[in-house]
Amino acid sequence: MFAYILKRLLLMIPTLLGVLLLTFVVIQFVPGGPVEQYLAETKAGAGAGAEGGGMSYRGGQGIDQKRLDEIKALYGFDKPPAERFVQMVGQFARFDLGRSFFQNKSVWQLIKEKLPVSISLGLWTFLISYLVAVPLGIAKAVRAGSRFDLVTSLFVLVGYAIPGFVLGVLLLVVFAGQLAWFPLRGLTSPNWEELSWGARIIDYLWHITLPVTAMVAGSFAVTAMLTKNSFLEEIRKQYVMTARAKGLSERQVLWRHVFRNALLPIVTGFPAAFIGAFFAGSLLIETQFSLDGLGLLSYESVIRRDYPVVLGTLYLFTLIGLVTKLVSDLCYVWVDPRVKFD
């Protein structure tokens, strides 16, 4: 087992390097880098100053080569791409993700500031998806073919067919716009600090309801149908018929024999689903509901060409994804001792 874990950890190194190298190469050919962004903002500020006070500003007329070289050196673009890549990998090896070009903060600090929002969305999405979808899937498997199964399958499949961002727009228009039952944006109200603890909890749940509903729809459907199909597959196996022939009740057969084997693909997916709920699939939802989380941070960094934030978050999320995949594989042995690493 130790050799297997060590082998997987060593394989993460070329995977991380490949992801970073591919992204770094693509970035070199994307027009409108940080230098161009800086010049555009400088010229825009110069134009506004000239209109407001009649004063001219050199940035509105162009920047000489010396100043341009200073700006490139400020962002590190005075070095060859290969040297910049090696320097970046060395920093990432020390878990130094660098500093943002435009926000004057370290990437770690930005991640820490945005993480609470993503944790709020991810934790509720994960809990609702599993605590409700798994019992529903078991009930559907036990009552397969019944009216309950057909009706719930209809709702589950409709929820799966509607993309989360489309459902988010619908929820915003109906429940936040027309009916005004829920707020349009934010995770808390502006006067949240002045509220009592009980009022803070209510206010938080009031704000989080719509975005969590939009995120849960897809993952909820997948988990429920996976649970149902997994249980149906186990129920039809020979050992279940043998247990019934021995005189065991349906409850004993289900919970003593079927339950553990049927939950194998679900339990092993726990780590990936748990991490994925925090770091994936929330970009459009955070943008729609004006939630300042990791998804919105990544989107704004790409738009502004804030490369340290883009590459730093990519490195961190890729590393977390690889470790999560390893934990998922280890869960197979924990759930099913028949699985061997060799």
The predicted-structure confidence for 130-144, as pLDDT tens digits, reads as follows 888 888 888 888 888
Bridge partners, 106 (sequence order): 99
Report the CATH number at residue 275.
1.10.3720.10
pLDDT digits (tens, 9 = 90+) for 163-221: 777 888 888 888 888 888 888 877 778 887 788 888 888 888 888 888 888 888 767 77
Q: Are 267 and 335 in contact (CB under 8 A)?
A: yes
Q: What angle do CA 272, 274, 277 make, to 5 degrees?
A: 100
Distance of CA 27 to the CA centre of its chain: 22
Q: Determine the structural domain holding residue 275 and report its residue range.
A: 114-291
pLDDT score, position 281: 53
Is 298 part of any domain? no
Is 85 part of any domain? no
Poorest-confidence range of 35-39, 103-107, 158-162, 226-230? Answer: 35-39
In the structure, what pLDDT confidence band is assigned to residue 247 with cuts at 50, 70 and 90?
A: confident
pLDDT score, position 157: 83
Is 237 part of any domain? yes
The CA distances from residue 174 to 121, 184, 257, 284, in Å, are: 21, 11, 46, 18
At residue 106, φ and ψ (nearest 5 deg) are -75, 155
The DSSP symbol for 99 reads B
Is 76 part of any domain? no
Q: Are 60 and 46 in contact (CB under 8 A)?
A: yes
Q: What is the mean pLDDT of the chain?
A: 78
CA–CA gap between residue 152 and residue 143 (Å, rounded): 11
Is 264 part of any domain? yes
Is 332 part of any domain? no
Is 223 part of any domain? yes
3-state secondary structure 194-251: HCCHHHHHHHHHHHHHHHHHHHHHHHHHHHHHHHHHHHHHHHCCHHHHHHHHCCCCHH
Number of domains the chain contains: 1
Is 193 part of any domain? yes
Q: Is 70 exceeded by the pLDDT of residue 44?
A: no
Is the whole-model pTM more than 0.75?
Answer: no
